[in-house]
Amino acid sequence: MSVRPVLTWGDPRLKKNSEDVGEWTPELERLVEDMFETALAEEGVGLAAPQIGVNLNLAVIDCSSGEDPAQKLVLINPEITREEGLQVGPEGCLSIPGIREVLERPQKVTLRNRARDGSWHEVVGEDLLARAFCHEIDHLRGRLFVEYFGPVKRQVLQRRFQKQAKSS
């Protein structure tokens, strides 16, 4: 396993729509291990393959931050099939380090997700997991969370991000 570099805001690879994952391979299994390792090293809840430059419809989520292996989820070609309720809370992104903003997301999300063996199943997430589902699937569709804000706020955030990037 290895930690991979995370692409940051402004990299055009973050704006692409991801390609569906085909047959599961040992290379994909290694990629998933690297993604969990990278998310943990960067202190993130989740990571989408495009964030490490891999244009696949694949993401990992671990709301326990490595504490509970049973909470590790792999999203393969996920699709949101249902959203319920609303939650408002802070959100950040490994591709936009140092920026956290309050964002509205569904309280509960139901996904159609493919398993490694190719079968499909439903996964339901509430609270932080629902937020993570939405956030990672946005990445798979080429969208960053800052795009939910208007152009003026987005410019302010971009300037703040660029300033922080220069000073680090």
pLDDT tens for each residue of 19-40: 999 999 999 999 999 999 999 9
What percent of the chain is predicted at pLDDT more than 90? 94
Q: Give the helix ranges, DSSP H, for the chain.
A: 26-41, 128-140, 151-167
Annotated binding site for Fe cation: 93, 135, 139
Tokens 């991000």 appear where? 161
Domain 12-167: give its CATH code.
3.90.45.10
Q: Looking at residue 57, what is its pLDDT?
A: 98
Point out the catalytic residue in the list 27, 33, 126, 136. 136
Whether 33 is catalytic: no
- Residue 38, number of CB atoms within 10 A of its CB: 21
Which residues fall in the annotated binding site?
93, 135, 139
Phi, psi for residue 109 in degrees, rounded to 5: -130, 135
The pTM is what? 0.95
pLDDT means over runs of 10, the chain (168 residues): 94 96 97 97 96 98 92 97 98 95 97 97 97 98 97 94 84
pLDDT in tens, 58-85: 999 999 988 999 999 999 999 999 999 9
